[in-house]
Amino acid sequence: MWNGNDMKLDSLRDAWRHGDDEAPDASSAAALDAARQRAAALAADVRRRDRRETVVALLLIPVFLLFAFRAPTTLATVGALIVVVSCAFIPLRLRAARQAEPDPGLPVAAALREELERVRAQERLLGSVLVWYVGPLGLGLALYMAGGTESVAFRAGSLLVLAVLYAGIAWLNLHTARHNVRPIARALEQSIRELEGGDDA
Amino acid sequence: MTTVTPNEHMLHEVLRTHGPALRRVARAYAGDDGEEEDLYQEILLQLWRALPSFRGDAAPGTWSYRVALNTALAWRRSARRRTARSEQVRLDAVQAGSTPPATRTETAILREFMNALSDVDRTVLVLYMEGLDNDGIADVVGISTGAVAVRVHRMRKKFATTYVER
């Protein structure tokens, strides 16, 4: 219990350490084994995701190559070929953009700065994803649809659906950057400012 | 048969000697009851993942504090994003502050004081409570010893103003 006016921050060190003996702590070997298993499971998840992206791209490439050869117009052929190139390009770019986690063994201030760089890069990626990643794919699909021999109404309807889909993607990216990524960047900037300001005080 | 590398052996030693300290870091940054264990497990996971990049530039104890605190700070950032819990924690701290000090335990008062601090000050306070000197804290946090001294002085003064002089 609180015991009077002579209490200082230093005297709470015992209270800080109190209760550790009661905490059920697994042996270091068991705890590390659990950590090792979790790390392996996480690495397997990343490998599965990479494989999924590659498989989808590999499946789409022959399909659109076939469409390119059988396309009724030059416009549709060009569109299908753009889709083929985009399908090969997207998984490569996404994998290259996936940045390594900062080293958690860095001093706190350096780790915060690295994390801020990573978050800013993520924000930039979200801003450019429409142009550089799914943009060419959309352009290819639009040309392929526009170059088809179906009725004008059908082609116009397809292009409209595509436009709505891309508007949705753009909004989703903007929303994620604004509501998920930017607040983290702000919190990191504030912590870094606070750390750097300590010297002047 | 599994071969234990020198770094893995070092990690076993870190857990043996600093395990309780790492758990206290988890306790200082976790929210409700269930989160302390989750955060502790996350710290162990990050220690394991950071192991290959450990070059021995810092003492194993310093390194383990760095990993634990960086993990805890990342945990708080992501928790804040999910639930805006920090506002609730600060609200809890204010509400708890209205209880007369005499009716609370030292642990509760320390927790309340910590909850009202910024993430950066909490980091310094955790290391101070762990018994690290200013040089040791500066080494873990990556700021100058003078800056640590200023922060510690400010916190001690704030604590005295908030809890002793009222």
Split at pLDDT 50, 70, 90, the class of A2 is very low
Q: Is the pLDDT confidence value at A19 over 90?
A: no
Model pLDDT, residue B82? 61
Q: Cβ contact (<8 Å) for A16 and B120?
A: no
Q: Which of A5, A16, A29 sits opposite B110 (nearest CB)?
A: A16
Which of B24, B77, B142 faces A108 most closely, judged by CB atoms? B142
Quote the pLDDT of residue B133: 93
In the predicted structure, residue A30 carries a pLDDT above the cut 60: yes
Residue of B nearest to A15 (CA): B107
Considering only CB atoms, B12 lies closest to which of A2, A32, A201, namely A32
ipTM surpassing 0.85? no
**In sequence order, what DSSP letters do the residues of chain A get, joined into one string?**
----TT--GGGGHHHHHTTTTTS----HHHHHHHHHHHHHHHHHHHHHHHHHHHHHHHHHHHHHHHHHHH-SSHHHHHHHHHHHHHHHHHHHHHHHH-PPPPPTTS-HHHHHHHHHHHHHHHHHHHHHIIIIISHHHHHHHHHHHHTSSS-HHHHHHHHHHHHHHHHHHHHHHHHHIIIIIHHHHHHHHHHHHHHHHTTT-
pLDDT at B80: 67
How many CB pairs below 8 Å do chains A and B form together? 163
Contact assignment for B20 to A20 by CB distance below 8 Å: yes
Q: Does A110 touch chain B (CB under 8 A)?
A: yes
Question: Residue B8's pLDDT is what?
Answer: 75
Rounded to an integer, the average pLDDT of B60-71 is 93
Q: What percent of chain B has pLDDT over 70?
A: 80
pLDDT greater than 50 at residue B94:
no
State pLDDT tens for residues A133-175: 778 888 898 998 888 888 889 889 989 998 898 888 888 888 8
Which of chain B's residues have a Cβ under 8 Å away from the Cβ of A201?
A: 147, 150, 154
What pLDDT score does B85 carry? 44
Q: Which residue has the higher pLDDT, A25 or A136?
A: A136
Residue A180 touches chain B, beta carbons under 8 Å: yes
Whether chain B has a CB inside 8 Å of the CB on A24: the answer is no
Band of pLDDT at residue B102, cut at 50, 70 and 90: low
Q: Do A12 and B148 touch (CB under 8 A)?
A: no
Banded pLDDT at B69 (limits 50, 70, 90): very high
